[in-house]
Structure 1
Amino acid sequence: MLVTERRERILALTRANGTASIADLAAQLRVSEMTVRRDIDLLADEGVVERVRGGVRMRSAARTVAAPVVSPERRAIAEAAAALVEPGMAIGISGGPAALALARELVQVPELTVVTNALPVSDLFSPPERADAPYTQTVVLTGGVRTPSDALVGPVAVRALEHLHCDLVFLDVHGLDVQAGITTMNLLEAETNRALMAAGREVVVLADHSRWGVVGLTTVADLGDIDRLIADEGLDDDARTQLAAHVGTLQIAPLD
């Protein structure tokens, strides 16, 4: 069973009863409890489920509508990334919690064109209710496979990106590693993120310090393909040295 299929099964089993235990999920999926915990951690980071003692539960409707809790590190990264955006720009934003935090920082920027394959990001940039309010254009990559984090990935999204051009592309990543580069757990997401990167004049990666040393299932791109990497102060000195030697610019976002 592929990783993406396993996580879809976890979601389906959890949705059926509202909650599920790690032991039951491991038994039904025939994998270790550690594997299930890792899957749950990723799904929780994406805001799809909530961790509970010994298991997982679906987020309630009220919690889903509310803005997710953003860590101080991701908030600092989002604020630093938002400072790069100017009115009138065309920008690309991937799926992921850091990317969504950035989108929330940008909703008031006027005349901004947003290219995104993330449905939660798209929802933030809906037309204003008042005619005199700043209007933000949104391009949603329609079609493709919908991931647990509500991103649209696959060949349809890739083809839509082939003829688009962005001033900046902001990419949220699952992991960063010197040998493996930028990685993700979803093969189709890797393909789509590569196309999103190719559409940008400058690629800005958003990654808090916990992403360093994490290696996902497949490589999206090499570290050398990153024009600017925005991380937080939790990144240790050794990691900073290694990353600075490979990426175009390493920017450390200060915590308040």
Structure 2
Amino acid sequence: MKFVSWNVNGLRSCVNKGFYEYFNETQADIFCVQETKLQEGQIQLDLGEGYHQYWNYALKKGYSGTAVFTKTEPLSVRYGLEENTEPEGRIITLEFDAFYLVTVYTPNAKRDLSRLEYRLEWEDRFRNYLLQLDAHKPVVICGDLNVAHQEIDLKNAKGNRGNSGFTEEEREKMTMLLDAGFTDSFRYLYPDKTDAYSWWSNMPRVRERNVGWRIDYFLVSSRLRPFIVDARIDSHIFGSDHCPVVLELADLT
């Protein structure tokens, strides 16, 4: 099975910057997007026959939002954590026969860290939610997790220490999630690979010089490790300040 996750930073804009071409090229079984930044009815996405579409829109216009496009119709769909609702449109869970798929756009702590406390509370709730799912079936988690976990996951670790996305608190929450029984698929296959990033600032020549961060992930329940065939970062794909990340698993059925 092939999974793709992409923070498109505005789907309507990304559609005009190669989204359809990449989508058709990948032929993913499940394709997830984050930061759609639109409301219901603002786009009619023509993905051709064979894909079921599930959308979680933020109440705030032009903000956040997630979607999942899947060839296989899920057994159930959930929007939110404790409640089946998520006002910022940050999460969708699809249940399939052999696994759960969760796509997520994790809240940013903000540059001044004014949302760090909320972010850390979210992390605890999210981890508990994933553990509840994992008690029933293995879980595939993807999305923009808004954290560079280790120093190897960003270009300038020393200069960014303590900044949003690289605070000790955020990094520790990621460690806690992995220690709870989940695996970072990319690092599982490529533990020492450097200069592998999925997000770049829009400042001049930053992406050209590959001064980036790896903040987009595919995590899997650790018992799925034997099924990991490939995990990659399609950094050659433009259209957003993030690039797509890809996971391939052996058939779980």
For the superposition of Structure 1 and Structure 2, which TM-score range results when normalised by the shorter chain? 0.3 to 0.5
Structure with more relative contact order (C-alpha pairs < 8 Å, separation 6 or more): 2
TM-score normalized by structure 1? Answer: 0.35
TM-score normalized by structure 2? Answer: 0.35
